[in-house]
Amino acid sequence: MDIQNLHINTQLIHPSDQKESLGSITLPIYQTSTFEFQDAQHGADLFAGKENGFIYTRMGNPTIRELENALCILERGSGAIATSTGMGAISGMYMALLSKGDHILSTASVYGNSRAILESEFAKFGIESTFIDTSDLNLIQKSIKSHTKIFFVETPANPSLSITDIEAVSQIAKKNKLIFVVDNTFCSPINQRPLELGADIVIHSLTKLISGHSDVLGGVVIAKDEALNKKLRTTITRMGCTMDPHQAFLIHRGLKTLSVRIEKAQSNAEKIAKYMHSNKKFAYLCYPGLKFHPQHLIAKRQMKGFGTIITFDLDESAEKAKLFLNQLKLIRLAVSLGSVESLIQHPASMTHSVLSPKEREECGIHAGLIRLSVGIEEAEDLIADIEQASKNI
């Protein structure tokens, strides 16, 4: 049976290749750094690319390859490269595609380090970057320069949850011959498949929803085009930000429950958003599933579900936000997201503290904003925790 033609819930459970697993139901961990050649000619042929096989784990490994194949099928790409972290995937993509004198255009509230590495490290090599509100198509048109090479979008953005219209942007990217990259970490392929909507490359931090248990780091880059994948693989394996086999095993195990975890967390998120909307204590509330979200209709069109992240405030002040966080008893105060347990944090003093107040304002991060990543606990218990914390301040 061809795995490509099955439903996503089935694809998540069954591996793409069981030929060499000796009947093991779970993914075997090939914890080896290197692979023995059959003879000298075999080694030479592997290096020359005349034969397929494994040489050295930084360049490829059966456990890691199985995870790459699974992710590639889910995102409908032509190949995947697993990396040590999400940032490994992002910096590897930049390194592979950008040259001196190039310009990259990106979402203002893109993941903090995706921006910081361009402004501090890549700027040293003569690479220019601009960050804008990518939900504004006119602004995108105006911001493209003659030397723009990559257009890098995160949607929903973090933590503003503003939505960029992937299909519309892909048209602009094609017209201007830009490589269009989407960071799909907040959605996973269950909720959004950017390559099907016209993107050239999709990126994930596997640390978040895909592994889902706050116990492992990882990243992946998946391109639609085979030549582009080859280019990305060459650079990323040279840089050495590749994955370890044990890491691949843990992420692959998490992947199996991705769909059921998202279903539960998303249903919880919807209930919490509804509760907050009906409670006057929460002055500001943002969730793409709410009808008053500015890009609700685009979200509805391009996402299968509205995700597991909610942002809100009690008032505009950081003090009130911190008091609230300190009163929570069940929801854990920690950064990261997409895990089985609900995690909450204060972006202005935590994940986005490296930005200047002006930059924070530009990407919708006011002093009182709180980001909640909803887990798979029971919604009633989460709401009770939120309710008691909001009453006790």
Ligand X SMILES: *Cc1c(COP(=O)(O)O)cnc(C)c1O
Catalytic positions, written as ranges: 58, 111, 183, 208
- By CB under 6 A, is residue 207 in contact with ligand X? yes
Q: Report d(CA 22, CA 24) in Å as an integer.
A: 6
Q: Which two tokens stand for residue 280?
A: 């006057």
- By CB under 6 A, is residue 86 in contact with ligand X? yes
- By CB under 6 A, is residue 219 in contact with ligand X? yes
- CB of 38 vs ligand X, minimal distance in Å: 37
- CB of 113 vs ligand X, minimal distance in Å: 6
- CB of 205 vs ligand X, minimal distance in Å: 3
- By CB under 6 A, is residue 320 in contact with ligand X? no
Q: Report d(CA 190, CA 202) in Å as an integer.
A: 14
Q: Which two tokens stand for residue 68?
A: 């790459």
Q: How many residues bind ligand X (CB under 6 A)?
A: 14
- By CB under 6 A, is residue 87 in contact with ligand X? yes
- CB of 40 vs ligand X, minimal distance in Å: 40
Nearest one of 156, 118, 55 to 364, comparing CA atoms: 156
Q: Report d(CA 161, CA 107) in Å as an integer.
A: 12
CA 391 to chain centre: 34
Query: Looking at 13-21, 115-123, 181-189, 353-361, which segment touches ligand X (CB under 6 A)?
Result: 181-189
- By CB under 6 A, is residue 94 in contact with ligand X? no
Residue 48's region, left for phi above 0, alpha for psi from -120 to 50, else beta, is alpha
- By CB under 6 A, is residue 111 in contact with ligand X? yes
Q: At 100, is the secondary structure helix, strand, or coil?
A: coil
- DSSP secondary structure of 196-232: GGT-SEEEEETTTTTT-SSS---EEEEESSHHHHHHH
- By CB under 6 A, is residue 158 in contact with ligand X? yes
Q: Using the minimum distance from each CB to ligand X, give the nearer residue, 163 or 379.
A: 163
Q: Report d(CA 181, CA 127) in Å as an integer.
A: 17
- By CB under 6 A, is residue 217 in contact with ligand X? yes
Quick note: the x/- pattern for ligand X over 43-62, rule CB under 6 A, is: --------------------
Residues of this chain that interact with ligand X (CB under 6 A) are 85-87, 111, 154, 158, 183, 185-186, 205, 207-208, 217, 219
